[in-house]
Amino acid sequence: MQLGLIGLGKMGGNMRERLRRAGHEVIGYDINPQVSDVKSLGDLVKSLEAPRVVWTMVAAGEITRQTVAKLADLLEPGDMVIDGGNSRFTDDFENEKLLKSKGIAYLDCGVSGGIWGLENGYGLMVGGTAANVRKAMPIFDALRPEGPRDEGFVHAGKVGAGHYTKMVHNGIEYGLMHAYAEGYELLEKKDIVTNVPGAFKAWSRGTVVRSWLLDLMVKALEENPTLEDVSDYTADSGEGRWTVEEAIALSVPMPVISASLFARFASRQDHSPTMQAVAALRGQFGGHQVMTVAEGESLRRGEAPAAAKAVKKKVAPKEKPTKSAAKAAAQGRKAAAAGPSSGSGSTQGGSGAAGAGPTSGSGTTRKRAAKR
């Protein structure tokens, strides 16, 4: 089968090679002339015989949208476009609408496999009509892993379903990676464990946590057992955010994936404004020590701060407890008459809650005090 492939980067270039090994004719276009087979999108379309099938493998978002718009002007009725990038599923609705108005078919395909797909094959998740999927099946069969089709390929549903399924796949990936990473840190922290890389490798056979991601963790630790000079700054490519957004929209509890996404956000902070606020509040309500940034960094390095600074704030003298019930009631009335300690309004009179009496029990606080 003949295919036009746009985008010949880390994945696109390997996909072209895998398809060619399977006997398909692939004409590729990339903005990098050193890897491109043709000079322009126009030349790519001219090189293909009708009805054409063109696969886009470029960055999600505006670049993909622009590419699809250009193809809408270049292709003819009966041709087909497959978006294999990591586009948001909502973009698929607009892409299909645009292409359908020109008589051009559209499929969205989530692709998993990374740089290993050339040899291992790619996991494919496709959205679109059954008729369009059948037309492109020779390409899908060449790209997916060897073995039963349903163990590496799924027609997930309507247009958008392919990218939606891939989005959830990537959200799960966030959670899995973070679980392995937390286990790594705990093992490294415990002094009685002296072979952390060996522990991960032992898990790779016969255990319930074995997976390809675990195999990659083993490989990373074999290359760098202590992850020396590996920055903890971790980016996210978007699918994790979209997964959490969808969970919120559909009221689906998603604590694990959400936490793994937020951990990536935290990895990019030199200092956490959240924890600075928590430290300041502890100082205000409990008189706890509030350290300077330098003192905190010293503690992180395992050093004692040069001089522990007590919180410098005026603290009202503590009242001595009274043994007299009548005196305690009088003090309570005095505090109530002074008004609330925050907010506005008064605790007595009007239509306020205090004026209406207690919210539970019977009688009023005034009557109880008088009885005592």
H and E: helices and strands count for the chain:
15, 7
In 84-131, which ranges are E strands? 105-112, 123-127
Edge-first strand listing for the sheet containing 2-6: 25-29, 2-6, 53-56, 80-83, 105-112, 123-127, 153-157
Rounded to 10 degrees, the C-alpha dihedral 91/94/99/104 comes to 60
SS3 75: coil
Pairing of strands 53-56, 153-157: unpaired
Residue 28's closest CA among 10, 6, 59, 9?
6
* Catalytic entry in 70, 135, 158, 173: 173
Whether 173 sits among the annotated catalytic residues: the reply is: yes
166 is an active site residue:
yes
CA-only gyration radius of the chain, Å: 32
The rounded distance, in Å, linking the Cα atoms of 80 and 128 is 11
Contact 107, 128 (CB under 8 A): yes
**Nearest residue to 107 via CA among 82, 124, 89, 88:** 82
Do 104 and 128 meet the contact criterion of CB atoms below 8 Å apart? no
**Phi, psi at 274, each rounded to 5°:** -60, -50
CA 30 – CA 12 distance, rounded (Å)? 10
Task: Please give the positions annotated as active site.
Answer: 166, 173
